[in-house]
Amino acid sequence: MIKLTILFQQPVNVDDFEDHYNHNLALLEKMPGIRRRQACVVVGSPAGESKYYRILEFYFDDRAALDVAMLSEAGITAGRYLVGFAGHQVEMIFADVFED
């Protein structure tokens, strides 16, 4: 299994961010092949406040399924919207997932 993790840094305007975040989440959920989704609100870190505000994780069967999702019409639309509203305040990573 592989996952796409989207890390959102603390926004300047929370209300504005939440509107865009919710719209983007609806777009992201249209990607094909999603096996599981997790939406997290960051509450802090061992050092206190975290630089992250929200985390989204989308799980796929394998890298090929992730690639299909990201290159789909839904994935491209969601990606463009994400960059448009979050820009440099967002990071995306891919990770292999190993579960017992």
Query: What is the tens place of the pLDDT at every residue in 10-49?
Result: 999 999 999 999 999 999 999 999 999 999 999 999 999 9
φ/ψ of residue 61, rounded to 5: -60, -45
Considering the entire predicted model, what is its pTM?
0.92
Q: What distance lies between CA 31 and its chain's CA centroid?
A: 12
φ/ψ of residue 97, rounded to 5: -115, 130
Which class does domain 2-96 fall in?
Answer: alpha beta
Query: What is the tens place of the pLDDT at every residue in 67-97?
Result: 999 999 999 999 999 999 999 999 999 999 9
Q: Where are the domains of the chain?
A: 2-96
